[in-house]
Structure 1
Amino acid sequence: MSDDGRGLILVVEDDPAIADLVQRYLLREGFGVHLEKDGAAALAAVRRLRPAAVILDVGLPSMDGIEICRTLRADGDWTPILFVTARDDEVDRVLGLELGGDDYVTKPFSPRELVARVRTVLRRGPTAAEVLEVGRVRVDMTQRRAWANEVEIALTSTEFDLLAQLMRRPNHVFERRQLLSTVWGYSVTGTRTVDVHVAQLRAKLGEASPIRTVRGIGYAADRP
């Protein structure tokens, strides 16, 4: 089904009942939807259709969701990816996020929550020009681009939003739950997701990273 204006969402799910349910909710919210149930076919669809985002089941025939994400990121494709997994296991979640996934939901999930999270990863920056600088890191909110030591770095949509949130208020300490609410748009019991994304940001920013951990509280972007 073609894109209707809000963006085409590629749904990769081998359970027909779940795929149909997700498709109906996305269509209801005005998104275009394309369905795939096989990993290899899904990878080809991402490259062919250039969707706005991918809802990606982890357990798939021929190529699992983790391998699809790994392949896309290695190719420099940073299409937002939201993982869907039946494995209620922290290792799987962390692995997916470290590979460049933007978010995850665990089955069984609320279709309304899934759609809300899709909206979050598709969120764009302000229309007015805005450039943020903290130390040796700079982000352009309009173009959604980031640099560290004058070298451009590739960030996922969620990594970019997290970095921008920290840099908007230099030296301010953000609690983990506050970051979950403002960046991800929801609140959950565990805050490991925040820690994983911060670790990934630090790895990409290298020695230029301005992010400071405040033990037991959260994080801040410190201005020298």
Structure 2
Amino acid sequence: MIRVLVIEDEQDLAENLLDYLELEGMLPDHASNGLAGLQLARSNRYDVMVLDLGLPKLDGISLCQALRQDGSDMPVLMLTARDSLDDKLAGFAAGSDDYLVKPFEMAELVARIRVLAARRSGQSRRLTQADLVLDLDSQQASRGGALVKLSPAQFTLLETLLRAAPSPVSRSELEHALWGEDTPPSNALKVHLHHLRKALADAAASGAPELIETVSGVGWRLVSVTQPEEAQ
């Protein structure tokens, strides 16, 4: 499911965007000014950002530049009422990936979002980290060539961690990946993580290190066995 951050200060347009994206099966989030949008982008993972160019507190160009300086590879689709070549070039120079001029058709916006989401490396069908391989087409995982037996929930957790690696993933992001908005009791996630750790350990060679690391106050991440200083 595609997670979209919409940063738009026109309330009516923002509400229409959020409603339409939800109907298209996406998970939209919203900020009404540039500073709030930048904070959301830095604290959560999104597949695509839909970014208005003219924003209060921090304009779209400056926001996009700040993201790229952070090292973010999130695809950015800029929205603007300005359609001059100079405006488009400024947006691309700041790090945007696509450009849509207002007014626009919602169907075109959704099509462009899907294309941008598919470009991201997170859409790879074969995810790897250290000696771990997750094949999304066959729905199988292996460690050091040995099959890792995973439940559907464990598979989802591992995919989410692999897509983010080596960055950590927060509790809320993992819970959202598993259950959407219907979050179960607080210890359910830890139970699934415990069983995932055990499944990875059972498939590993004797003495192989732990791959899932707890990042205090942040969440969890997958670490590489080639970097022992990061291991637990």
Q: Give the TM-score normalised by structure 1.
A: 0.53
Residue from 45, 65, 76 that aligns with 2:71 = 76
Q: State the match for 2:44 in structure 1.
A: 49
CA distance in 2, matches of 1:52, 1:128: 18
CA distance in 1, matches of 2:94, 2:50: 15
Q: Does 1:28 align with 2:28?
A: no
Q: Structure 1 residue 127: deviation in Å?
A: 2.8
1:103-138 Cα distance to aligned partner (Å, 9 max, x none): 010000001100100000011566369xxxxxxxxx
Q: What 5-or-longer segments of structure 2 have no aligned partner?
A: 128-134, 136-232
1:148-201 Cα distance to aligned partner (Å, 9 max, x none): xxxxxxxxxxxxxxxxxxxxxxxxxxxxxxxxxxxxxxxxxxxxxxxxxxxxxx
CA distance in 1, matches of 2:66, 2:78: 15
Size of the aligned set, in residue pairs, is: 125
Q: CA RMSD in A?
A: 1.7
1:198-222 Cα distance to aligned partner (Å, 9 max, x none): xxxxxxxxxxxxxxxxxxxxxxxxx
Q: Which letter maps to 2:8?
A: E
Matches within 5 A, 1:120-135: 120-124=115-119, 127=125
SS in 1 for 2:54: coil
Q: Does 1:17 align with 2:12?
A: yes
Matches within 5 A, 1:36-185: 36-124=31-119, 127=125
Q: Contact between 1:8 and 1:31, CA under 8 Å: does it hold in 2?
A: yes
- Moved runs in structure 1, 4+ residues, more than 3 A? none
Q: Contact between 1:21 and 1:111, CA under 8 Å: does it hold in 2?
A: no
Q: Contact between 1:25 and 1:112, CA under 8 Å: does it hold in 2?
A: no
CA distance in 1, matches of 2:126, 2:59: 40
CA distance in 1, matches of 2:124, 2:56: 40
Q: What 5-or-longer segments of structure 1 have no aligned partner?
A: 1-5, 130-141, 143-224
CA distance in 2, matches of 1:101, 1:12: 14
CA distance in 2, matches of 1:22, 1:49: 20
Q: Give the TM-score normalised by structure 2.
A: 0.51
Q: Contact between 2:62 and 2:94, CA under 8 Å: does it hold in 1?
A: no
